[in-house]
């Protein structure tokens, strides 16, 4: 796997201050994508054990709320195994931190039934994620006021509850609000 960028202080891709990794490789090619250079699987730098240690080191600070996985596409089959390794290490070292993931694949129709890559690896990655923002970015549904998503077709999913229920469970209503309709500090 390659990655495009690691942000050690990100406030746009989940609640609080986060460490974010943008992986390389995406076959969705969404119209209006903010990161089209990451569509190529060869873009960026190789993801190594040193990369994992860099991310773990950045997560050590108490003020860092968690890790966010973006792309490219984290759930492309070529990226899943490396991200299972990363997220497992984060879970071991920082069980109090949350992990968010943004994917163009849909939870109920593609990820939960194991239709993307190896079903066991896909399931292992899902088990390490707390929150999944799913669905491709739709430029015609773009809404800058949406909290933590780019277009209104995307869902903010409580992955743990969804895996237990065997169906999609959206995160509590406060997460679905738009930026102007509630206090961001509630999150």
**pLDDT tens column, 132-171:** 999 999 999 999 888 899 999 999 999 999 999 999 999 8
pLDDT tens for 1-29 read 999 999 999 999 999 999 999 999 999 99
* pLDDT band at 173; cut points 50, 70, 90: low
Q: Who wins on pLDDT, 86 or 144?
A: 86
27-31, 85-89, 116-120, 169-173: segment of lowest average pLDDT: 169-173
pLDDT for residue 178: 42
Half-sphere exposure of 103 toward its Cβ, with a 13 Å CA cutoff?
27
pLDDT for residue 183: 38
pTM, to two decimals: 0.91
Share of the chain above pLDDT 70, in %: 92
Residue 185 has pLDDT above 70, yes or no: no
* pLDDT band at 33; cut points 50, 70, 90: confident
Q: Who wins on pLDDT, 59 or 174?
A: 59
pLDDT for residue 34: 83
70-79, 89-98, 167-176: segment of lowest average pLDDT: 167-176
Q: Would strands 2-10 and 45-46 be described as parallel, antiparallel, or unpaired?
A: antiparallel
2-11, 30-39, 108-117, 123-132: segment of lowest average pLDDT: 30-39
């Amino acid at each position: 796997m390659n990655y495009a960028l690691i942000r050690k202080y990100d406030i746009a891709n989940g609640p609080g201050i986060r460490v974010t990794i943008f992986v390389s490789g995406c076959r969705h090619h969404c119209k209006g994508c903010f990161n089209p250079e990451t569509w190529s699987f060869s873009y960026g730098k190789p993801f190594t054990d040193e990369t994992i240690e860099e991310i773990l080191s950045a997560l050590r600070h108490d003020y860092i709320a968690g890790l966010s996985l973006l792309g490219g596409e984290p759930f492309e089959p070529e990226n899943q195994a490396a991200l299972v390794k990363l997220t497992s290490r984060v879970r071991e070292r920082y069980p109090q931190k949350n992990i968010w993931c943004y994917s163009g694949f849909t939870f109920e129709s593609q990820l939960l039934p194991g239709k993307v890559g190896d079903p066991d690896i896909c399931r292992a990655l899902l088990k390490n994620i707390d929150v999944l923002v799913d669905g491709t970015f739709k430029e015609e549904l773009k809404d800058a006021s949406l909290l933590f998503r780019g277009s209104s077709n995307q869902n903010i999913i409580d992955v743990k509850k969804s895996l237990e229920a065997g169906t999609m469970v959206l995160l509590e209503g406060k997460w679905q609000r738009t930026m102007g309709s509630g206090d961001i500090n509630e999150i």
